[in-house]
């Protein structure tokens, strides 16, 4: 490219930019210190769809292992959800056992009947920890679980330090808080990008049927779901992501510049909040604090200035590459590779170069 002499940030600057204030972790004064409790007994809600585990389940298992003790996986749904296949798949991983709950009211994983079910299992079996991946489903179910148990929920956990101490982002990811919970039962969701996926154990967890009487009442009704199908990788779990920002100027440019580059790289398509608010891309493609948190091997930011809310969603990306004509754009402070150039020239050239290989 004619603008090849781009900008590259030092690794020191990169580390500082990705983990602001981490050296000054905030410890919540609301929690009192306590002596080490008995061994953890964890209930892990296993999210699934169409007979397959949600990819975030594997990362959540790794996080649960940090607690020590036994881990029970909960597979819940209707018979039509291929629960046996889901349970068999989950049993290959390091779990003590799998509990399968089947009821018509559990179809579509509605939070209203699921939350009481989880609470009933916790109270009956004496679980000390309840966790799941920090997905849309997890964020819907677990606040209800915490409320029913009358405990505080800890969201988006990035690190498990001990049975009662966790690390999580606050202030749009601009600071990292270390919190210690004095609640008897810890309810928390896992930021999957912060943990490696669990590997198959080869031992095989036992599978047992749960009691249907523990299922909550059907106080909500499933109406419909509208999904956009695409051959591109899923944004939340893609190894490569190409995102466009306000700099692409309009939807036509987004479609003609960002999407071809993503397709050439075999990447998922993302967008900044500014691009979504301007109508350049669907809100399902939004990356950032109020969108999706991604952790790809490669993240390409095109025409994105780098607002704090956006950076909070890409902090776990392994390699960040930015293309922007403004050399003072904040995105360059966190980028591993930066190219100061007109995106309308640079992005198409990059697309052609990738296509030739």
- The tens digit of pLDDT for each residue in 119-164 reads 999 999 999 999 999 998 999 999 999 999 999 999 999 999 999 9
**Annotation-wise, does 244 bind a ligand?**
no
User: Average of pLDDT values for 95-101?
Assistant: 95
For residue 81, the model assigns a pLDDT of 66
The answer on pLDDT for 9 being more than 80 is: no
**Annotation-wise, does 72 bind a ligand?**
no
**Annotation-wise, does 153 bind a ligand?**
no
**Annotation-wise, does 324 bind a ligand?**
yes
**Annotation-wise, does 309 bind a ligand?**
yes
The answer on pLDDT for 29 being more than 70 is: no
The mean-pLDDT minimum among 72-81, 117-126, 235-244, 347-356 falls in 72-81
**Annotation-wise, does 8 bind a ligand?**
no
Q: What percent of the chain has pLDDT over 90?
A: 65
**Annotation-wise, does 304 bind a ligand?**
yes
Candidates 326, 354, 169; CA nearest to 260 is: 354
Are residues 59 and 196 in contact, defined by beta-carbon separation less than 8 angstroms?
yes
Candidates 163, 208, 210, 219; CA nearest to 186 is: 163
**Annotation-wise, does 303 bind a ligand?**
yes
Contacts of 70 (CB under 8 A, 6+ apart): 39, 40, 41, 42, 96, 97
**Annotation-wise, does 202 bind a ligand?**
no
**Annotation-wise, does 18 bind a ligand?**
no
**Annotation-wise, does 246 bind a ligand?**
yes
What are the chain's domains? Answer: 31-214 (3.40.50.620), 230-355 (3.40.50.1220)
Write the pLDDT tens digit of every residue in 209-226. 887 666 666 777 777 777
| Helix orientation angle between 111-125 and 136-149, rounded to the nearest 10 degrees | 50
Buried b (16+ CB within 10 A) or exposed e, 150-188: ebbbbbbbbebeebbbbbbbeebbeebbebbbebebbbb
**Annotation-wise, does 287 bind a ligand?**
yes
Please give the helix or strand (H or E) that residue 190 lies within, else none.
strand 186-190
For residue 216, the model assigns a pLDDT of 63
**Annotation-wise, does 130 bind a ligand?**
no
The mean-pLDDT minimum among 108-112, 115-119, 146-150, 267-271 falls in 108-112
How far the first Cα of the chain sits from its last, in Å, is 16
Instruction: List the strands of the sheet with 298-302, edge to edge.
Output: 268-271, 240-244, 298-302, 320-324, 337-340
**Annotation-wise, does 314 bind a ligand?**
no
**Annotation-wise, does 250 bind a ligand?**
no
Is residue 16 exposed (0-12), middle (13-18) or buried (19+ Cβ within 10 Å)? Answer: middle
Phi, psi at 209, each rounded to 5°: -90, 140
User: Average of pLDDT values for 16-22?
Assistant: 40
């Amino acid at each position: 490219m004619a603008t090849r002499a781009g900008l590259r940030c030092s690794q020191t600057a990169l580390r500082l930019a990705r983990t602001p204030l981490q050296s000054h972790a905030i410890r919540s004064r609301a929690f009192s210190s306590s002596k080490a409790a008995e061994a953890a007994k964890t209930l892990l809600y296993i999210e699934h769809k169409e007979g397959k585990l949600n990819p975030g389940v594997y990362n959540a298992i790794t996080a649960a292992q940090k607690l020590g003790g036994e881990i029970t996986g909960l597979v819940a749904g209707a018979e039509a959800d291929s629960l046996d296949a889901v349970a068999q798949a989950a049993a290959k991983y390091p779990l003590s056992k799998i509990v399968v709950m089947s009821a018509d009211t559990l179809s579509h994983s509605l939070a209203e009947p699921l939350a009481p079910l989880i609470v009933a299992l916790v109270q009956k079996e004496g679980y000390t920890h309840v966790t799941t991946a920090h997905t849309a489903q997890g964020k819907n179910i677990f606040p209800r679980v915490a409320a029913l148990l009358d405990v505080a929920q800890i969201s988006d956990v990035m690190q498990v330090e001990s049975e009662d101490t966790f690390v999580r982002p606050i202030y749009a990811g601009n600071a990292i808080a270390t919190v210690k919970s004095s609640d008897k039962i810890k309810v928390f969701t896992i930021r999957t990008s912060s943990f490696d996926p669990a590997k198959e154990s080869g031992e095989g967890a036992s599978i047992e049927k749960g009691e249907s009487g523990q299922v909550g009442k059907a106080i909500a009704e499933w109406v419909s779901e509208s999904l956009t199908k695409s051959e591109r990788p899923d944004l939340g779990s893609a190894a490569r992501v190409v995102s466009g920002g306000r700099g692409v100027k309009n939807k036509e440019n987004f479609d003609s510049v960002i999407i071809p580059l993503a397709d050439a790289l075999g990447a998922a398509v993302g967008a900044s909040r500014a691009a979504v608010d301007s109508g350049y891309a669907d809100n399902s493609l939004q990356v950032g604090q109020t969108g999706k948190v991604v952790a790809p091997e490669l993240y390409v930011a095109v025409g994105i200035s780098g607002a704090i809310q956006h950076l909070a969603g890409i902090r776990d990306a392994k390699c960040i590459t930015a293309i922007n004509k403004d050399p003072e754009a904040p995105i360059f402070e966190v980028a591993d590779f930066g190219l100061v150039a007109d995106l309308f020239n640079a992005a198409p050239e990059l697309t052609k170069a990738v296509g030739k290989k």
